[in-house]
Amino acid sequence: MSTRPFLRRLALCLGSVLAAACAGDDGGGGMGTGGDTDTGGSGGTGGACEIDGTPQVPPIDESSCAPLPTDYQPLDNMSANDMWPACITDDGEYHLVADSPGTIGRVEGYEMIADLLWRNGKVPTTDDFTMARVVYSQDQGLESRIQRREDLHYPPIPMEDWDPTVDPDKQCSVPSNVDKYPDRCVGPGRMQPILDAAFAAGQTGEGIAEVHAARIQATLLWFLYTSTYKESNTCFTSKAKDCDSSWAYYTGGFQRDGGIGLAGEVRALSDTTHNRVFDGVAAVRCLRDLYPDDMYPVLDDLPAEGQMLFDLGWEQLDNALHRGFALVVRDRLARQADLSGNEALANWAFLQIAGPVLQREADERGPASEAQTLADLFAMDCPTAADIEAGIAALDTIFPCP
Amino acid sequence: MGPLSHAVFAVALAAGPPPGADPRAYEGPAAAGSGAAAVPARAEAPGARAPASGQAPEGNEPDADADAGAGGGRRVLVIEPRTGRPTEPWRAATVVRRETLEERLPRSAPDAIRYEPGVYVQQTAHSQASPYVRGLTGQQVVLYFDDVRLNNSTFRQGPNQYFFTVDARTLDRVEVVRGSASVRYGADALGGAILSTPIDPGRLPHDPTIGQWPRFALHPRLLLRTQTADGEIGGRVSLDARLGRKVTLLVGAGGRDVGNLRAGGQLIAPGTGMVEKIPPHFDDDGKTQLGTGFREWTADARLVARPAPGHEIVAAYYDYRQLDAPRTDKCPPPEAPLDACLRYEQQFRTLGYVSWRRTDGPPAAHTVRVTLHGQRQRERRDETRGGNSPTRLSGRDDVYTAGLRAVITTDERPLGRRLRLSTTYGADLYQDVIRSRASIHWSDTDITADLSRGQYLDGSLYLQMGTFGESRLHVGRVLMLRAGGRAGLTHARAEGDPDTESKAVRRTWGHAVGGGGFVVRPIPQLAVVGNLDQGYRAPNLDDLTSRQQTGPGFQRENADLRPERSLTLEGGVRVRHPVVEIDGFVYRLWVHDLIQRRPFDATDCPVGDPGCASSRTRFQLQNADGAAKLWGVEGALVTFLPWDLFARATVSYAFGDMPNPVEDPDEPTVPMSRVPPLNGTVEAGYRSRATGFHAVAALRWATLQDRLAPADRADPRIPTGGTPGYVVVDLRAGYRFDPYALVSLVFENVGDAAYRMHGSSVNGPGRSLIVHVELGF
């Protein structure tokens, strides 16, 4: 791959100039689920979002967490002790519905981007951003799915706004619906503007490369998290092989003892949560085994018991995913105090995107005061040590267990 | 004109034209063995335009007496068909002539053969169409234009758009040869061959003089056309010039601007009972199909010189330029933003050639045709993601082809009292060189990243050469035996691309194919035909090197493929009678080592090509284990009734199975991909050469096709559960006042039926009017 030499030289020049001149202007991200895409200011007490003092961060403690009686638990005597009938995933492994899903390629794309932009502490160059964007923009790659991603946590688009020429489950492909329902149409409505802005700035050398990389990482993790949840639903409302996509969006195509992408992040922080997410994915797959698509094409075709189990399994997955994503955010919060310079700015930029992802659920779960703490925290230009401590406490309160 | 006088037909005195020679090479009976052969009869005879169906053939038709003229001896009594004489009358073949096209008003060259038995025309876009012949298409059917091979080494698996790049307004006739035919037509002739012939200059009857130069004449002609279904406005201007005694010239240029196609409505998917949505994407009216409009420009020049009796030199140039043509199934792709679109910004084909014909040579080379051609095919694709995405994926492929083909036919030599032998032999050579590149451009940064490789490996080379011969032995008046063969070499070379794990290719294949058959004529009106012919296709550069998103999913190359070989066994009857003509054939076609799409796991995707692993479905081309089998029946019946009335009906059925690309003991074979359903046509009406009027009602029909290959089930072009059947009625009327005026109207799809040709991305046109006007002198 090669870029236009002139443009590359121009971008490098612009990059070095702007990075030197504007480092303090472009540190934090201002992105929340509210949809702002401004780059924000660095703020904070250290001028580069460096924290004065050391927040007291308790270790992750999930010792008191126990599955719900309704949870699918293949690791517990191969599901013999739960209420779920015997099924294909009782051995604790994930078993594909069909051939390997293309989702694996997209998660591998995430890993390739990670190697180029933020892994191993590297400072990405403009060429790195261009190469990463090639991966992102590839046919059938991450961008193609971000453009169509819906967040099923939000209400569906009302029928009166449906485009009759488009299938009901593809209404987010209609531009006017993206504008009107950006939370539901989260990919094109929320994620894509962040990613386009970050890639473009990184390619042209504007601002701080690490910040752009962090914003890309946070948004892509958000996408993986949203997609895992969404595909486990469409496994029963659209195509059975979407179960495989759900599994792959979480694990990148690995069994529970491995995982890249989101699973790699979560597993590094908590085996328990990782296993619970995996169990949630397996619960939906288990149900597809019990109710195969050739006999029960969509959710409405399932008997009442099947529909109940689907609700339980999907909710189990949702809870675990929230905990997993909260752990990622928690870990980044905890690290903020140890970082300085552009790394600190980048970390905070990450949190300003990833943190608000949890806000809807936090508001729903409460307590309201803790949810407000999180909202206030991620709206800051830069937190103090106390803000971080409060934020971590709020996360542990709202999302205590997978 | 009374029915019987109109039904005058030629009782020709030969089994057919000298096989292998171009139809134009044949002279009329009067020319045979005389100096008159120096100038083709059609160029001199008043009113020598090719007749419509139901009229005695003249002009550009192969002449029934050709063999007689060539052999000058014993003759076999046959009845000349009024519906058009195939180049090889012993094959399952039909002909569409210019006057028929002027009645049917096809939208494209593929559309021109829609009414032929054994043919079914698939459309991935309104600007693209791919004819299926006996259930095969694309790289498995060979296309010729004036004896120039159009197939090149980038013809891909499944349907392609390349026959669309032949301007239908320049065609004088199109012939469809059904069944394997590689002996005569070389590689790719597995399902058949489509032979198109352009209009020649010097075909107009009157030569107005220019001043004091009586040997110079100019015939300008203006063609205007519009149709309501897609808002097409287009036309063509041409000038037919006689430049002295020995030279004629036809130059023309055309263009059209085509809007979005309005269909009868949306389809109901048989598998769900629900309205089938994208593709195509319909406008709010539920009828207008977005992503179907395009623009087109054409230019051509054809100079024919006859420097000496029996010699003809043709220098010709045909340029086709299609612009801004969306691929409908990806405009938008299912689930993508509605403004996402893959467009062929440029679909160009430029062809130039020189040919020399001799029609009265020595016995060993009685007729000769040598053609040297050069062709460039360009595709420039541009895919926008839509939804405010700044990403634009582009690809450009240029194929440069040079070719040389020689076809020679001997005199008919008596071998005894009742035996006569003639032979057609020749050789051909083609070389392709490919330039291919791809890039991603982001409009927000104006940065372009060139990808490691394009759809093909840049600089690839493909060479084909072969020599062939076919002899026909006439035994008395009732039997003709035929046998022939071809041998040749194919060489493919491409440099690998390590970044994307694209293997280098250096492969050479030899091939030898044969064929033969018989024709028995117990009575002049009846012929019983039997043929056994082979087809051959070496893997081309598309198979060996290309990576692309096809309709069913990502397709990966395979540099280790083996050639495909086919065998057609067919039997049929032909009835030629003043009142009725019947063609009926039954066939069985085997394809050995069929190159088919086999799904593969994402973990086997090449490193450095994220588009592979990310695709929902992935296929690699593989040779099938065992033979794919097609069988079918097809027929055409024409009756010529009193008072210039006629009726014609065709029916076609094909049933294809191939080895399951996925090992499955419960399902060792699966349906072949996109085999057309049972289908047919009916045309009936009035057509008078005397009055110049025609009025015809036409009906096209097809049944549900729910026999789907695994790849078909993943193909969004095919509705869930298969493609529904349909019945479409057209009405046609027109008036011809040769050579001054032609007005032709088609009231298409009178019932405004919502229908789709199987495998297509677009539904057929809804109720609409096509108006075609030609003025000239």
**Residue B737 pLDDT > 90:** no
Does the CB of A35 have a partner CB in chain B at under 8 Å?
Answer: no
The pLDDT assigned to A16 comes to: 33
Question: Which of the residue ranges A171-175, A255-259, B315-319 would you say has the lowest mean pLDDT?
Answer: A171-175
The pLDDT assigned to B210 comes to: 53
Q: Is B59 helix (H, G, I), strand (E, B) or coil?
A: coil
Label residue B193 exposed, middle or buried (CB < 10 Å: 0-12, 13-18, 19+).
buried
**Residue B41 pLDDT > 90:** no
Contact A316, A72 (CB under 8 A): yes
> Quick one: what percent of chain B has pLDDT higher than 90?
70
Kindly give, in sequence order, each residue whose CB lies less than 8 Å from that of residue B453, ignoring residues fewer than 6 positions away: B436, B438, B497, B499, B500, B502, B547
Bridge partners of B448, per DSSP, are B441
The pLDDT assigned to A136 comes to: 95
Give the mean pLDDT of B145-174: 93
Judged by CB atoms closer than 8 Å, whether chains meet at B387 and A200 is answered as: no
Question: Which of the residue ranges A10-14, A228-232, B717-721 would you say has the lowest mean pLDDT?
Answer: A10-14
As for the ipTM of the complex, it is: 0.86
For all residues of chain A together, what is the average pLDDT? 87
Query: Could you tell me the pLDDT band of residue A86, with boundaries at 50, 70 and 90?
Result: very high
Q: How far is CA A139 from CA A35, A173, A304, in A?
A: 26, 17, 40
Contact B368, B361 (CB under 8 A): yes
A-contacting residues in B 609-648 (Cβ below 8 Å): 610-618
Please indicate, yes or no, if residue B263 is contained in any of the structural domains: yes
Give the mean pLDDT of A124-146: 94
**Residue A245 pLDDT > 60:** yes
Give the mean pLDDT of A351-357: 97
Question: Which of the residue ranges A250-259, B15-24, B208-217, B640-649 would you say has the lowest mean pLDDT?
Answer: B15-24
Give the mean pLDDT of B146-164: 92
- pLDDT tens track for A60-74: 999 999 999 999 999
Kindly give, in sequence order, each residue whose CB lies less than 8 Å from that of residue B584, ignoring residues fewer than 6 positions away: B572, B573, B633, B634, B635, B636
- Interface A-B, measured as beta-carbon pairs within 8 A, has a size of 165
Question: Which of the residue ranges A21-25, B178-182, B376-380, B485-489 would you say has the lowest mean pLDDT?
Answer: A21-25
Q: What CATH number is attached to the domain comprising B341?
A: 2.40.170.20
Q: Is B223 helix (H, G, I), strand (E, B) or coil?
A: strand
CA atoms lying within 13 Å on the CB side of residue B25? 32
Q: What is the 3-state secondary structure (H, E, C) of chain A?
A: CEECHHHHHHHHHHHHHHHHHHHHHCCCCCCCCCCCCCCCCCCCCCCCCCCCCCCCCCCCCCCCCCCCCCCCCCCCHHHCCCCCCCCHHHHCCCCCCCCCCCHHHHHHHHHHHHHHHCHHHCCCCHHHHHHHHHHHHCCCCHHHHHCCCCCCCCCCCCHHHCCCCCCHHHHHHCHHHHHHCCCCCHHHHHHHHHHHHHHHHHHHCCCCHHHHHHHHHHHHHHHHHHHHHHHHHHHHHCCCCHHHHHHHHHHCCCCCCCCCCHHHHHHHHCHHHHHHHHHHHHHHHHHHHHCCCCCCCCHHHCCHHHHHHHHHHHHHHHHHHHHHHHHHHHHHHHHHCCCCHHHHHHHHHHHHHHHHHCHHHHHHHCCHHHHHHHHHHHHCCCCCHHHHHHHHHHHHHHCCCC
Residue position matching structure tokens 């529909």: A307
Does the CB of B662 have a partner CB in chain A at under 8 Å?
Answer: no
| Of residues A99, A188, A193, nearest to B337 (C-beta) | A188
Give the mean pLDDT of A82-108: 93
Q: Which two tokens stand for residue B723?
A: 């493609």
Please indicate, yes or no, if residue B644 is contained in any of the structural domains: no
Query: What chain A residue is nearest to B613 in terms of C-alpha separation?
Result: A105
The pLDDT assigned to B244 comes to: 85
**Residue B252 pLDDT > 60:** yes
The pLDDT assigned to B614 comes to: 81
Question: Which of the residue ranges A42-51, B46-55, B386-395 would you say has the lowest mean pLDDT?
Answer: B46-55
Query: Could you tell me the pLDDT band of residue B562, with boundaries at 50, 70 and 90?
Result: very high
Query: Could you tell me the pLDDT band of residue B710, with boundaries at 50, 70 and 90?
Result: confident
| Of residues A112, A141, A175, nearest to B611 (C-beta) | A141
Q: How far is CA B39 from CA B34, B311, B360, in A?
A: 11, 9, 12
Residues of A within 8 A of B499 (CB-CB) are 1
The pLDDT assigned to A47 comes to: 57
**Probe site for chain B from A97, A138, A139 (most B CB atoms < 10 A):** A139
Does the CB of A100 have a partner CB in chain B at under 8 Å?
Answer: yes
Please indicate, yes or no, if residue B244 is contained in any of the structural domains: yes
Q: Is B84 helix (H, G, I), strand (E, B) or coil?
A: coil
Please indicate, yes or no, if residue B67 is contained in any of the structural domains: yes
The pLDDT assigned to A170 comes to: 85
Please indicate, yes or no, if residue B403 is contained in any of the structural domains: yes
**Residue B24 pLDDT > 70:** no
For all residues of chain B together, what is the average pLDDT? 87
The pLDDT assigned to B206 comes to: 58
Question: Which of the residue ranges A117-126, A161-170, B210-219 would you say has the lowest mean pLDDT?
Answer: B210-219
Q: Cα separation of B169 and B187, whole Å?
A: 28
**Residue B325 pLDDT > 80:** yes
Please indicate, yes or no, if residue B327 is contained in any of the structural domains: yes
- pLDDT tens track for A288-316: 999 999 888 888 899 999 999 999 999 99
> Quick one: what percent of chain A has pLDDT higher than 70?
88
Judged by CB atoms closer than 8 Å, whether chains meet at B613 and A139 is answered as: no
Give the mean pLDDT of B317-324: 97
Cα B290 versus chain centre, distance = 27
The pLDDT assigned to B664 comes to: 85
Does the CB of A137 have a partner CB in chain B at under 8 Å?
Answer: yes
The C-alpha of A355 sits at a distance from chain B's nearest C-alpha, in angstroms, of 25
The pLDDT assigned to B157 comes to: 82
The C-alpha of B496 sits at a distance from chain A's nearest C-alpha, in angstroms, of 15
The pLDDT assigned to B208 comes to: 54
The pLDDT assigned to B682 comes to: 97
Residue position matching structure tokens 């051909």: B428
The pLDDT assigned to B534 comes to: 96
CA diameter of chain A: 66
First and final CA of chain A: distance in angstroms?
43
Q: Which two tokens stand for residue B57?
A: 């053939």
List the domain range (segments joined by +) for residue B245: 3-639+649-690+697-776
The pLDDT assigned to B641 comes to: 92
Does the CB of A163 have a partner CB in chain B at under 8 Å?
Answer: yes
| Of residues A134, A178, A204, nearest to B449 (C-beta) | A134
The pLDDT assigned to B83 comes to: 65
> Quick one: what percent of chain B has pLDDT higher than 70?
88
The pLDDT assigned to B370 comes to: 98
**Residue B19 pLDDT > 50:** no
Query: Could you tell me the pLDDT band of residue B543, with boundaries at 50, 70 and 90?
Result: very high
**Residue B54 pLDDT > 90:** no
**Residue A171 pLDDT > 60:** yes
Please indicate, yes or no, if residue B563 is contained in any of the structural domains: yes
The C-alpha of B439 sits at a distance from chain A's nearest C-alpha, in angstroms, of 9
Question: Which of the residue ranges A132-141, A251-260, B95-104, B593-602 would you say has the lowest mean pLDDT?
Answer: B593-602
Q: Cα separation of B542 and B139, whole Å?
A: 9
Does the CB of B498 have a partner CB in chain A at under 8 Å?
Answer: no
Please indicate, yes or no, if residue B456 is contained in any of the structural domains: yes
**Residue B104 pLDDT > 90:** yes
**Residue B55 pLDDT > 50:** no
The pLDDT assigned to B477 comes to: 87
Closest CA to A321 of A227, A253, A217: A227
The pLDDT assigned to B553 comes to: 78
Give the mean pLDDT of B586-613: 86
**Residue B239 pLDDT > 80:** yes
Q: How far is CA B502 from CA A7, A131, B438, in A?
A: 29, 20, 15
Bridge partners of A277, per DSSP, are none
Query: What chain A residue is nearest to B282 in terms of C-alpha separation?
Result: A165
The pLDDT assigned to B82 comes to: 66
Give the mean pLDDT of B263-283: 90
Judged by CB atoms closer than 8 Å, whether chains meet at B615 and A166 is answered as: no
Number of domains in chain B: 1
The pLDDT assigned to A24 comes to: 31
Residue bearing the bigger pLDDT, B31 or B649: B649
Question: Which of the residue ranges A194-198, B49-53, B403-407, B477-481 would you say has the lowest mean pLDDT?
Answer: B49-53
**Residue B15 pLDDT > 50:** no
